[in-house]
């Protein structure tokens, strides 16, 4: 194949993040030792993205995968790819790297052709070596590494390989990061040990936004020293255990002025409905349709839920000559840098932010917050690195949570059993208070520093960017008369932000429950009813696949068991997923089996995609059956694993995943596609088993009894 056969990007437009950062040497560098170093702005969150990016680059360059080295994102040298979120990394970073690597290959081949006199279209690349038709090697990336050939902007006409030519992308290569993790190697920011490093812990108040009014003097364990800025209180020590003990002692000596600020947990749904907010129309349509013959109305509720990563947030910071260095598991090193600069009133250029991996990240957790905590603590020990690790109580009690939501739906069938009308109102906080996006910093400690600053209310990203509360609020099905609205609450007593799926879990739970109920009202099979109202052929394919996998058509009723089906295309523009769930109703509901049908377009690493779908679905089972942030008037009370339980090994369902191969379609992110449909499939399975329509998450006996 000659390079002329390759596919060109649309004229003048660079793909993915390359459009914003088009210089090739920002993305790729060859060295004489035979390696290519890739410097994406997206970061590893446990999702396996670095492996997928390495595959894309190895494929386009025609080099062995072992030659590709991934450098973790850091300011100021990495491309600024914003935040690693929204299941967009393959689209943003992967497509940028594919184009950049194709461009780098063409540039290098052009130089080798010119020097050797061999026509460029006659050259082939064999593991980085440029080989003439007679077998002669006329150059290599490595031999030409020092020539500065990538010191230029990516040409728009670079042509990545056509799908059929790919050899590495599209295969399930083992994850590059996993060996370190099974051998216990130091890979996480938690494992960073710098010379002279101190350990610090933060002392949290008894209540949200409490003020520290008095701090009794007294001895502290070891050599511990206190770092204080207004009501932000931390303690540093040489030994980690001394820092922990000192924090406990300090907590007992602190007097806080606290007030009731949180909503009534026992009447959360009523509070959501009554709370002031801003209304917006998400979608409206008034097409010809039959007159409504039968109507159903239902309200669905999800409480606040949280990230519950197995590791707690951690960061290391060091002040030196007025400059700040931070090691962090943030999802966005530039965004964090921007908010650190605002919080600390210093120029961004004086801050270096380096990414290191953390425990699994499912959205905007406390990773950014702990970085400011570390910077504040480290002020007490200039020149020394200071490591702050959150306690489990901080992790579950002080990190941002995902909004509680209400979804009201009123839907009608015409006399022929077709959906004629669909009216839906979503009530929610905003779903993003991520750092680095506004004039004010959104890091936890700014509300406690002197002077305290209020963290701005969470926003909903526009629907074109996937939306927040309104994510997946618009049904994917054919609905002639449609109205979808959203109310965003004016304040956030509990700090809310993005968590896997954002509004999608509640919205898909609501929509897919109503679809089941409408099918029942129409006297039609739930699969047939969906297929009849769904025009998107890829959506129909995943639904049919999941139904086939679980034996939907031939299913037999088993006492105490139920089978349910649900479908969503993530964000209505992303990856497709249908899930069938089998539940068993005992003293409470257990999910026993899940069948997942997936379509992500081109799958760079099919096993990685399956891993993400499986993991997302199990996250969904946990959210559906057990998760709920508990709080009183002043603080979150579900701050350990007994009060915020998540799904365990003894309860995890068997999962079967089928990936529909579409190598010719653009790749779509896999990480968030399955969570919401898994929840909805469980709800429908509960109805199948018990005849109850779940209306409130989690599906506990208490909530089911009230449904």
Partner 1 sequence: MVAFTLNGAAVAVEVPDTTPLLHALRGPLGLSGPRFGCGAEQCGACVVLVDGVPAYGCTLGTGAVAGRHVTTVEGLGTEDAPHPLQRAFLEEQAGQCGFCLSGILVAAAALLAREPDPDEAAIRAALDPHLCRCGSHNRILRAVRRAAAEMASGRRAPEPGA
Interface contacts to partner 1, rule CB under 8 A: 45-48, 172, 174-175, 177-188, 190-191, 193, 239-241, 308-312, 357-362, 389, 391-392, 607-608, 611-612, 614-619, 640-642, 646, 648-650, 652, 654-655
For the record, the structure tokens of 10 come out as 């649309």
CB 371, CB 315: distance < 8 Å: yes
Give the end-to-end CA distance of the chain in Å, rounded to a whole number.
62
Task: Closer to partner 1 by CB, 177 or 408: give it.
Answer: 177
Provide the residue count of the chain.
707
For partner 1, give the closer residue by CB, 328 or 460.
Answer: 328
Q: How far is the CB of 181 from partner 1 (least distance, A)?
A: 3
Query: How big is the chain by its Cα radius of gyration, in Å?
Result: 27
Which of 190, 569 has the CB closer to partner 1?
A: 190
Write out the E strands in 398-527.
Answer: 405-414, 419-428, 481-489
Minimum CB separation of residue 676 from partner 1 in Å reads 14
Q: In the bound complex, what is the minimum distance in angstroms from residue 10's beta carbon to partner 1? A: 35
**Beta carbon nearer to partner 1, 325 or 357:** 357
Question: 131 or 224, CB closer to partner 1?
Answer: 224
Residue 63 or 359 having the CB closest to partner 1: 359
Tell the smallest beta-carbon distance from residue 620 to partner 1 (Å).
Answer: 9
Task: Mention every residue, 6+ apart, whose C-beta is less than 8 A from residue 550.
Answer: 563, 565, 580, 582, 593, 595
Q: Which residues, listed in sequence order, are joined to residue 657 by a DSSP beta bridge?
A: 596
Max distance between CA atoms of the chain, in angstroms, equals 83
Contact yes or no for 629/401 (Cβ under 8 A): yes
Q: What minimum distance in Å lies between the beta carbon of 40 and partner 1? A: 18
Nearest to 111 by CA among 141, 82, 84, 132: 141
373: nearest Cα among 271, 473, 441, 298: 441
> Is the Cβ of residue 104 or residue 396 nearer to partner 1 in the bound state?
396
Q: Tokens for 620, please give them.
A: 């969904």
Min separation Cβ 621 and partner 1, Å? 8
Tokens of 110: 């052009």
Nearer to partner 1, 177 or 524 (CB): 177
The rounded distance, in Å, linking the Cα atoms of 588 and 444 is 37
Q: Are strands 211-215 and 129-131 parallel, antiparallel or unpaired?
A: unpaired
Rounded CA gap, 81 and 17, in Å?
Answer: 6
Map residue 629 onto helix, strand or coil. Answer: coil
Q: What are phi and psi of 129, to 5 degrees?
A: -95, 145
Distance CA 258, CA 278 (A): 29
Phi then psi for residue 354, to 5 deg, are -115, 130
Cα 206 from Cα 290, distance rounded (Å): 58
User: Could you give the strand order of the β-sheet that contains 28-30, starting from the edge strand earlier in sequence?
Assistant: 28-30, 36-38, 68-70
For residue 28, what are the CA distances in angstroms to 80, 144, 441, 499, 632?
14, 14, 32, 32, 51
Q: How far is the CB of 349 from partner 1 (least distance, A)?
A: 32
Query: For residues 46 and 82, which CB has a smaller minimum distance to partner 1 in the complex?
Result: 46
- Shortest approach of partner 1 to residue 78 CB, angstroms? 21
518 CB burial (10 A radius; 0-12, 13-18, 19+): buried
Closest to partner 1 by CB, 176 or 338:
176
Q: Angle at CA 542, nearest 5°, toward 537 and 544?
A: 90
Cβ burial 136-165 (10 Å sphere, 16+ → b, else e): eebbbbbbbbeeebbeeebbbebbbbeeee
| 674, two tokens | 């399955």
The least CB distance from residue 498 to partner 1, in Å, is 16
- Residue closer to partner 1 by CB (options 50, 473) is 50
Task: Provide the minimum distance between the beta carbon of 384 and partner 1 in the complex, in angstroms, as a whole number.
Answer: 16
H helices of 117-235, in order, are: 178-182
CB 256, min distance to partner 1, A: 23
Q: Find the shortest distance in angstroms from Cβ 467 to partner 1.
A: 24
| Closer Cβ to partner 1, 525 or 656, answer by number | 656
Nearer to partner 1, 180 or 229 (CB): 180
Minimum CB–partner distance for residue 129 and partner 1 (Å): 28
Q: Which two tokens stand for residue 437?
A: 């996006």
Instruction: Calculate ∠ Cα 93-56-103, nearest 5°.
Output: 80
Q: Which is nearer to partner 1, 284 or 310 (CB)?
A: 310
Minimum distance between the CB of residue 178 and partner 1, rounded to whole angstroms?
6
């Amino acid at each position: 194949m000659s390079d002329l056969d390759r596919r060109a990007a649309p004229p003048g437009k660079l793909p993915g993040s390359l459009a914003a950062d088009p210089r090739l040497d920002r993305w790729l560098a060859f060295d004489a030792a035979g390696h290519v170093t890739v410097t994406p702005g997206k970061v590893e969150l446990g999702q396996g993205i670095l492996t997928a990016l390495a595959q894309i680059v190895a494929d386009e360059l025609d080099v062995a995968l072992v030659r590709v080295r991934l450098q973790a994102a850091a300011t100021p040298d990495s491309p600024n790819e914003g935040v690693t979120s929204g299941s967009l990394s393959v689209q943003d970073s992967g497509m940028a790297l594919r184009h950049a690597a194709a461009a780098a290959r063409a540039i290098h081949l052009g130089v080798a052709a010119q020097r050797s006199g061999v026509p460029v279209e006659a050259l082939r690349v064999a593991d980085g070596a440029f080989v003439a038709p007679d077998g002669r090697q006329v150059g290599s990336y490595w031999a030409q590494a020092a020539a500065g050939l990538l010191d230029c902007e990516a040409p728009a006409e670079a042509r990545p390989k056509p799908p059929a030519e790919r050899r590495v992308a599209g295969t399930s290569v083992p994850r590059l990061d996993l060996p370190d993790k099974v051998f216990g190697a130091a890979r996480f920011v938690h494992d960073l040990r710098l010379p002279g490093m101190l350990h610090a812990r933060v002392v949290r108040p008894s209540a949200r936004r409490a003020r520290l009014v008095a701090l009794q003097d007294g001895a502290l364990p070891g050599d511990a020293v206190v770092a204080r800025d207004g009501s932000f209180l931390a303690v540093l020590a040489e030994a980690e255990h001394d820092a922990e003990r000192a924090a406990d002692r300090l907590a007992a000596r602190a007097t806080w002025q606290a007030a009731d600020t949180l909503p009534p947990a026992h009447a959360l749904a009523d509070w959501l409905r009554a709370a002031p907010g801003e209304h917006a129309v998400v979608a409206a349509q008034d097409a010809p349709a039959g007159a409504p013959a039968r109507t159903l109305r239902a309200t669905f509720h999800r409480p606040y839920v949280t990230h519950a990563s197995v590791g707690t947030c951690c960061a290391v910071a060091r002040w030196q000559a007025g400059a700040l260095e931070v090691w962090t598991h943030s999802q966005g090193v530039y965004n964090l840098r921007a908010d650190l600069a605002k919080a600390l009133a210093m120029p961004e250029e004086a801050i270096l932010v380096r990414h290191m991996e953390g425990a699994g990240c499912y959205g905007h957790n406390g990773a950014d917050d702990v970085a400011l905590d570390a910077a504040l603590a480290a002020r007490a020990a200039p020149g020394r690195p200071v490591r702050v690790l959150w306690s489990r109580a901080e992790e579950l009690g002080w990190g941002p949570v995902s909004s509680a939501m209400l979804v009201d739906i009123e839907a009608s069938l015409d006399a022929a059993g077709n959906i004629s009308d669909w009216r839906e109102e979503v009530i929610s906080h905003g779903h993003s208070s991520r750092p680095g996006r506004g004039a004010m910093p959104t890091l936890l400690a700014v509300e406690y520093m002197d002077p305290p600053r209020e963290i701005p209310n969470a926003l909903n990203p526009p629907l074109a960017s996937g939306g927040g509360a309104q994510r997946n609020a618009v049904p994917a099905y054919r609905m002639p008369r449609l109205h979808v609205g959203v109310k965003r609450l004016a304040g956030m007593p509990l700090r809310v932000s993005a968590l896997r799926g954002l509004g999608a879990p509640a919205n898909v739970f609501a929509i897919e429950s109503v679809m089941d109920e409408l099918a029942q009202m129409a006297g039609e099979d739930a699969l047939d009813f969906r297929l009849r109202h769904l025009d998107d052929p890829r959506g129909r394919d995943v639904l049919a696949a999941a139904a086939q996998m679980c034996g939907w058509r031939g299913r037999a009723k088993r006492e105490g068991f139920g089978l349910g089906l649900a479908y969503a295309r993530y964000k209505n523009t992303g990856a497709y997923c249908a899930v069938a769930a089998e539940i068993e109703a005992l003293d409470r509901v257990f999910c026993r089996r899940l069948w997942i049908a997936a379509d992500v377009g081109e799958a760079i690493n099919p096993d990685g995609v399956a891993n993400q779908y499986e993991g997302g679905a199990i996250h969904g089972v946990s959210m559906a059956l057990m998760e709920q942030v508990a709080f009183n008037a002043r603080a979150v009370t579900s701050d350990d694993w007994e009060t915020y339980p998540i799904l365990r090994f003894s309860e995890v369902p068997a999962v079967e995943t089928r990936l529909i191969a579409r190598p010719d379609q653009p790749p779509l992110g896999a990480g968030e596609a399955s969570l919401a449909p898994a929840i909805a499939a469980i709800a429908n399975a509960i109805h199948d088993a018990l005849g109850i329509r779940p209306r409130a998450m989690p599906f506990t006996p208490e909530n089911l009894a009230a449904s």
